[in-house]
Amino acid sequence: MAATSGLMCISARGVSIAALDCRGFVGRVAAAGRSLPLALRRRGAGGVARCTLETEKKEATKASKVGEGDGWIAENDGLVRSLPLFLGGGALVAVLLNRAFSGIAPVADSSSAQSRSDVLALALAATVLLQGLVWKSIQPRPVVSIEMDGVECFNMEKSLPDEAARELKWVWDALRSATRTKAMVVLYGGGCVLQAGIAATTMDGSAAPVNASEFIKGALYKGVQKSGRQNYLANLILYPGRFELSFLPSNTQAVLLQPLGDDGVLVLASDTIRGFTPADQAWLGTIAEKVDTTLQDWVASSTATVEGQAPL
């Protein structure tokens, strides 16, 4: 597995994530099936934004070795599971042959050191053999992605400034390309700022809107805001709280709720059970911090504009 991803947006001039055109890099990461440490920086006198991959040598070497080892085991899963059977069976036959051709009486004698050694070796060989049977009987369930029942939509708050809108669009494109995200909903300041991806279908075949006021009253939203931590519903069907997510398709497999400061929540939906890896969750946490800052500025500017209007 690759090291935990981190997203750093460093800019003396306050450049947003959306200003960094990293969709090509994110696409290559997704195509490679890896989650890599990512650093997005603003560099150069001309103020040209670009993506640079920064990884410490020690971490890169360690991640490479671990990844290669995991890949070999995954590709030879059947052989690895059968190894204890071959080792245990071979050891068992070797002990019996040694007993048969060593000239020792076939009846075990507790006073004989050889007999005690053979009994111990037989017990160890049987243990390894049984372990192989257990490994063969327990097979991992393959990761299967389903086709979510719903319609594509992209609804954004019209009062958002262009910079904030571009940033949210970039976040959606990045998550959709680099993870198994199929739907994203951003709730902030008591309303729905963005609904993108696959949404539930209404009676007339259109995308089901997000009832922000009802969702905010629910246990899922309150729980995330109270804890200040992610809430990962890896197998959504097992959670009663799934009924609060009426704006998502009924066959959504996994949902990740990420708090956006003290005034919002980012909801991601996946078409795969356990569709978000630990690296995805860490990456999302860093993205959420930047999104929270951007939306805070928008709310503050909107409030200042309203307060600055002259009374009628």
Comparing 69 with 216, which gets the higher pLDDT? 216
> What does the pLDDT average to over 5-18?
40
> What does the pLDDT average to over 69-84?
77
Residue 1: the pLDDT is 40
Residue 108: the pLDDT is 58
Domain locations in the chain as residue ranges = 78-137, 145-303
Residue 76: the pLDDT is 80
User: Which region holds residue 261: left if phi is over 0, alpha if psi is between -120 and 50, else beta?
Assistant: left
CATH number of 145-303: 3.30.450.40
pLDDT tens profile 285-302: 999 999 999 898 888 877
pLDDT at 185 over 90: yes
pLDDT at 103 over 80: no
pLDDT at 139 over 90: no
Mean of per-residue pLDDT scores for the chain: 76
- Tell how strand 49-52 and strand 38-42 pair up: antiparallel
Q: Report the half-sphere exposure of 215 (CA within 13 A, side-chain side).
A: 26
pLDDT at 266 over 50: yes
pLDDT at 36 over 80: no
Comparing 76 with 288, which gets the higher pLDDT? 288
Confidence tier at 197 by pLDDT (50, 70, 90) = very high
Residue 310: the pLDDT is 44
Contacts of 185 (CB under 8 A, 6+ apart): 192, 194, 195, 196, 210, 247, 248, 266, 267
Lowest mean pLDDT among 71-85, 170-184, 188-202, 275-289: 71-85
Residue 106 contacts residue 145 (beta carbons within 8 Å): no
pLDDT tens profile 140-179: 777 788 899 999 999 999 889 999 999 999 999 999 999 9
Residue 180: the pLDDT is 93
Contacts of 246 (CB under 8 A, 6+ apart): 200, 208, 211
Amino acid (1-letter code) at residue 277: T
Confidence tier at 210 by pLDDT (50, 70, 90) = very high
| Calpha distance 134→128 (Å, rounded) | 10
